[in-house]
Amino acid sequence: MLASVIDHRPQALRAPHGANWIEIDWPDAKARRIPTVILRGYCPCAHCQGHGGPIEFQPGRDSDLIDLGEVGNYALRFGWGDGHDSGLYSFSYLRALSDLYQEHGDKLPEAIPQLHRG
């Protein structure tokens, strides 16, 4: 039997206009908030991170969330106030950020300035 794949699909997502967080209901963890500054700082795209290597938290980026959409049934794309929208956040990456934020809170960027991919 194959190892079961953990279901990382958000069941619901709330991103109230003007809020500085999003809230996700995961199958096993409801109402988990992630601040937009955390999402933006850990944007995994090549523009923010270059190619390869760990994902480094980028402080001071625009974290006004103005757009959000699902991509290909596996990821979310966020659009930010400065027009940046090339970051694709796979559901598993979002879940990892959510769990890390749950553990470290606002000190996450200090505690874990670099995330390893995958």
Q: Binding residues for Zn ion, per CB under 5 A?
A: 43, 45, 47-48, 87
Q: Which is nearer to Zn ion, 21 or 80 (CB)?
A: 80
Instruction: Locate 116 and state its tokens.
Output: 């390893």
- Nearest distance from C-beta of residue 43 to Zn ion, angstroms: 3
Instruction: Locate 99 and state its tokens.
Output: 């769990």
Closest CA to 41 of 103, 10, 87: 87
**What is the residue whose two structure tokens read 């480094």?**
56
- Nearest distance from C-beta of residue 94 to Zn ion, angstroms: 14
Q: Which is nearer to Zn ion, 77 or 104 (CB)?
A: 77
Q: Which is nearer to Zn ion, 24 or 43 (CB)?
A: 43
- Nearest distance from C-beta of residue 56 to Zn ion, angstroms: 11
**Which strands form 12-14's sheet, in the order they lie side by side?**
12-14, 21-26, 29-35
